[in-house]
Structure 1
Amino acid sequence: MSITQQYLLDSYRARSLGEPAPPAPGTHDRQAVREWRDERRFRAVLAGRPARRRLRDALGRWRRRPT
């Protein structure tokens, strides 16, 4: 069963029971990714590592590297 089919089934079930409809798939993706990133940064600080954007910093260094 795909995500869309599950959402439609849950929406139908909620409507027939008089409950509020569930959020559409992908509605809270940005918030979930942001919370995951914040958790990783927090754990890095607790472990004594710098809490920065490692991938973006590495790509920036690679891009600014003299040729």
Structure 2
Amino acid sequence: MTVTQQFLLDSYRAAQHGAPQPPAPGRHDWRTVRELRDHRSFEAVVHERPAHGRLRLALARLFGTGGAAH
């Protein structure tokens, strides 16, 4: 069953029982991504790691560019 089919089935069931309609698929995806990013930054600070630039620094170490900012 696809996400769209599940959404339509849930909408039908909600209408039959007088319940509110469920949110459309993908409606809150970007909010979830932002919350995950914020949570990872918070965890980095709590564990005393750099909160920003970790990926760039790791790639610089991997490829030996020295980590110089451009």
Aligned counterparts of 1:17 and 1:52: Cα–Cα separation in 2: 48
Aligned counterparts of 1:46 and 1:8: Cα–Cα separation in 2: 42
Aligned counterparts of 2:17 and 2:48: Cα–Cα separation in 1: 51
RMSD of aligned alpha carbons? 1.9
Are positions 1:43 and 2:50 aligned together? no
Aligned counterparts of 2:53 and 2:19: Cα–Cα separation in 1: 42
Gaps of 5+ in 2: 60-66
Aligned counterparts of 2:2 and 2:22: Cα–Cα separation in 1: 16
Higher share in helix: 1
Aligned counterparts of 2:53 and 2:29: Cα–Cα separation in 1: 20
Where in structure 1 do 4 or more consecutive aligned residues deviate above 4 Å? Answer: none
1:6-21 matched pairs, under 5 angstroms: 6-21=6-21
- What is the aligned length? 60
Q: Tell me how far 1:54 sits from its aligned partner.
A: 3.5
Identity %: 58
Question: What's the TM-score once normalised by structure 2's chain length?
Answer: 0.75
1:1-67 matched pairs, under 5 angstroms: 1-55=1-55, 58=56, 64=70
Aligned counterparts of 1:30 and 1:53: Cα–Cα separation in 2: 21
